[in-house]
């Protein structure tokens, strides 16, 4: 059974437990159904390729992308610019986000986004953001946009953000590299990419999408110090009070990109999360299954119906430390593999309507031999 199927079965069961069959029917997202997610947060969608002949792990077909847009339109989602979402997160009282707020983002500036995605979005008058690794455009690599194409998108209302110079693993420290040397190297990369964007474009965002979605506390601190907002690729909705250097997005690709999967993600709201663990996101090569300790809220989350999942493993061991306080411990059933993995936890909202609280936690594990895992 796939991770996706396990999660959908668990979500359906939790929906029935939380509010009965009527709420589960409403979760289908059909026009005229009861209201879904409330105001005050946003779901940020992440795409890479929009093509049928590119790697499935980072692709949706043009037909699937069109279905996504049709679903957003038919279910009255408010597609906002990324800058408007960030404003709403920073200033929830003065610039509150509306119900059903969504932002659409693309990493890497692939040519298929210019050819397939941008015209579809433009026809609907919907904004979007593209994150660029500037060296790839400067070197004229195949399958990427040109600067002229990017300028055309910006002139049409697209927002452009920073995705590094050359898409390196920012979290990785080189052998023998001191922390100050690492900070200087990564700072130079981020500033260099931003300088190229500012040279080529009118008004690039001061927003960084981490290459591969990888970050750790030191990188988040550096991102804030440099005056950037940071987005990862850990799944979940974005809400006020979150660290602006580690905002989540929902990756849309491969088996996670059908319309049912999109509808599931659009009906999410944030947990109030405090990470109690002292284990950093970068594990040692010999690490066993890491234990994640969390304090989860708000009171409206049905924690009695909490479900958690581990990339490639399904359900982990979940142990309540203090159920009344929302303190829980999550441990994978086996050691995580080399590369990126995530623990994801969901719980239905007490109000029903098919709405779920969602949180995802990133882990990175390097190999025993070699200094980092491959791209």
pLDDT, tens digit, for every residue of 83-131? 999 999 999 999 999 999 999 999 999 999 999 999 999 999 999 999 9
State whether 281 and 224 are in the same domain: no
The DSSP symbol for 99 reads T
Q: Among residues 307, 296, 316, 371, which one has the least CA distance to residue 338?
A: 371
Question: Looking at residue 168, which CATH number applies to its domain?
Answer: 3.20.20.370
Taking 80 as the threshold, does the pLDDT of residue 18 lie above it?
no
Regarding whether 150 and 104 lie in a shared domain, the answer is yes
Do 90 and 20 share a structural domain? no
Residues 306, 337 within the same domain: yes
Element (H, E) at 224: helix 217-225
Same domain, 173 and 320: no
Give the end of a domain, one of 234, 266, 298: 266
Q: What is the pLDDT of residues 100-112, one digit of tens each?
A: 999 999 999 999 9
Most confident of 21-25, 312-316, 325-329, 368-372: 325-329
Residues 67 and 212 in one domain: yes
In this structure, what CATH number is given to the domain that contains residue 294? 2.60.40.1220
Note whether 173 and 314 are same-domain residues. Answer: no
Q: Among 266, 301, 324, which residue terminates a domain?
A: 266
**10 Å Cβ neighbour count for 170?**
22
- Per-residue pLDDT band for 371 (boundaries 50, 70, 90) equals confident
| Domain identity same for 27 and 48 | no
| Sole residue written with tokens 């284990």 | 279
CA distance 359 to 353: 19
Number of domains in the chain: 2
Do 140 and 230 have their domain in common?
yes
Q: Are residues 203 and 60 in the same domain?
A: yes
Q: Interior CA angle at 200 toward 197 and 204, to 5°?
A: 40
**Do 225 and 332 belong to one domain?**
no
Same domain, 205 and 285: no
Domain that holds residue 82: 37-266
Boundary (domain end) residue, out of 266, 295, 327: 266
Q: Which helix (H) or strand (E) holds 260?
A: helix 259-266
């Amino acid at each position: 059974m796939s991770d996706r199927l396990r999660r959908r079965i668990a979500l359906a069961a939790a929906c029935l437990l939380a509010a009965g069959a009527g709420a589960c029917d409403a979760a289908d997202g059909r026009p005229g159904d009861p209201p879904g997610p409330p105001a005050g947060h946003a779901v940020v969608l992440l795409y890479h390729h929009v093509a049928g002949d590119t790697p499935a792990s980072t692709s949706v077909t043009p037909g699937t992308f069109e279905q996504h847009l049709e679903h957003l339109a038919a279910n009255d989602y408010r597609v906002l610019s990324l800058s408007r979402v960030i404003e709403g997160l920073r200033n929830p009282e003065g610039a509150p986000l509306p119900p059903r707020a969504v932002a659409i983002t693309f990493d890497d500036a692939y040519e298929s986004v210019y050819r397939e995605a941008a015209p579809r979005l433009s026809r609907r008058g919907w904004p979007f953001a593209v994150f660029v690794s500037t060296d790839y455009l400067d070197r004229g690599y195949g399958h990427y946009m040109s600067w002229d194409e990017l300028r055309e998108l910006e002139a049409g209302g697209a927002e452009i953000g920073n995705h590094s110079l050359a898409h390196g693993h920012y979290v990785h420290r080189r052998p023998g590299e001191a922390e100050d040397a690492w900070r200087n190297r990564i700072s130079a990369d981020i500033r260099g990419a931003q300088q190229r964007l500012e040279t080529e474009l009118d008004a690039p965002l001061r927003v960084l999408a981490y290459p591969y979605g990888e970050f750790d506390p030191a990188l988040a601190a550096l991102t804030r110090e440099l005056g950037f907002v940071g987005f990862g690729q850990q799944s979940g909705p974005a809400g006020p009070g979150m660290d602006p250097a580690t905002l989540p997005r929902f990756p849309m690709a491969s088996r996670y990109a059908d319309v049912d999967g999109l509808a599931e993600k659009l009906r999410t709201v944030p947990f109030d999360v405090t990470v109690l663990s002292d284990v950093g996101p970068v594990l040692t090569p010999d690490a066993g299954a890491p234990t994640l300790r969390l304090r989860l809220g708000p009171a409206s989350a049905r924690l009695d119906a909490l479900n958690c999942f581990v990339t490639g493993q399904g359900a982990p061991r979940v142990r309540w430390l203090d159920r009344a306080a929302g303190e829980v411990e999550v441990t994978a059933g086996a050691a995580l593999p080399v590369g990126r993995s995530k623990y994801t936890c969901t719980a239905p909202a007490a109000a029903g309507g098919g709405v779920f609280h969602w949180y995802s936690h990133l882990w990175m594990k390097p190999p025993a031999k070699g200094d980092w895992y491959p791209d």
